[in-house]
Every structure is written in C-alpha cells, then in structure tokens.
C-alpha cells in the first residue's frame, strides 16, 4: 500500500502543472498542518504584492475517508478549493454514497496512482472573494514562495 508521503510528488506535480506554488505541511494559520497547499498570484506589476488568484488545500489519507473529509471541511471557506487525495485503488472501490459525501461537502477527491492523478469528484470553487481579497494572507504566502 502506498503512503501519504509517496503520493506527495504526484500531487505536487499536478498542482505545479496548474501554475501553483506548492508548500508541504504548512504552518500558515489559515491552513495549519494542511498536507499540501497550492497557490498562485496575478502577474506582478511594480512593487506591490500582486493579487492572490487561487488557493488550493489538499489533505491526503490512505484509508480514513471520514477523517479526510473532516480535515478538508475545515478548509472550506478558507480557500478556493478543498481537495482530498487518496490512493486510486481506494477511490475505485468507493460506493456512490461515499462519493456523494465529498460532493455534498463541496470537497474534491483525486485518486493517486504512482505519478498519475485522476479527478474522481471535482472540487467546487468557493471563497473566491474572501481569499483573493485577503491582503494579509497574500503577504504571508508571498513570503513563502520560492525565489
């Protein structure tokens, strides 16, 4: 069975392919202990920190569906997308009622198989105005990016 740590490179690559800067196990107060955090800014023009465009939080688990949903629900409203990552084998065995729990809670689900990512339940975007207009959060994320 794959571990959470072994899923991380595929998830990181998937976020980076979407133009995101990726942090692991962040200690930023809005996302304390999130497994992965992806974010991107508008193009910088001049000196000011550019506008924050998107923040995606990913929680990963191997088997604990209720645990991962609970963790991901905590991030709903604090990010633009809250997503759970689980091994593809586990996702493939989920019952329709289980998949509906993700959708009903506005949480996405991705299946990870080696280096491949499959979107099982699309994440519903939320919190756009709150997140993208949060200058304090933008400043803290700006400082975390790779230079």
Phi-psi region of 128 (alpha: psi -120 to 50; beta: other; left: phi over 0): alpha
CATH of 4-144, one of 3.40.1350, 3.30.750, 3.30.460, 3.40.190: 3.40.1350
What pLDDT digit, counting tens, does each position of 34-89 carry?
Answer: 899 999 999 989 988 998 899 999 999 999 999 999 989 888 878 889 999 999 99
Q: What predicted TM-score, i.e. pTM, was given to this entire model?
A: 0.89
* CA distances to 19, 31, 43, 92, 147 from 58, in Å: 15, 10, 24, 19, 23
What pLDDT digit, counting tens, does each position of 100-144 carry?
Answer: 999 999 999 999 999 999 999 999 887 665 666 778 888 888 988
Q: What is the mean pLDDT of the chain?
A: 89
Angstrom distance (rounded) from CA 20 to CA 126: 17
Going from N- to C-terminal start, the domains of the chain cover 4-144
């Amino acid at each position: 069975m794959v571990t959470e740590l072994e899923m991380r490179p595929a998830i990181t690559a998937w976020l980076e392919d979407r133009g995101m800067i990726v942090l692991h196990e962040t200690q930023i107060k809005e996302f304390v202990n999130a497994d992965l955090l992806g974010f991107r800014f508008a193009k910088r023009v001049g000196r000011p920190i550019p506008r924050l465009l998107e923040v995606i939080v990913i929680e990963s688990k191997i088997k604990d569906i209720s645990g991962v949903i609970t963790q991901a629900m905590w991030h709903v409203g604090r990010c633009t997308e809250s997503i759970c990552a689980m091994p593809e084998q586990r996702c493939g065995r989920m019952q329709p009622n289980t998949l509906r729990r993700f959708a009903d809670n506005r949480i996405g689900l991705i299946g990870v198989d080696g280096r491949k990512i499959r979107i099982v339940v699309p994440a519903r975007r939320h919190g756009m105005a709150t997140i993208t207009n949060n200058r304090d959060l933008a400043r803290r994320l700006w400082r975390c990016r790779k230079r």
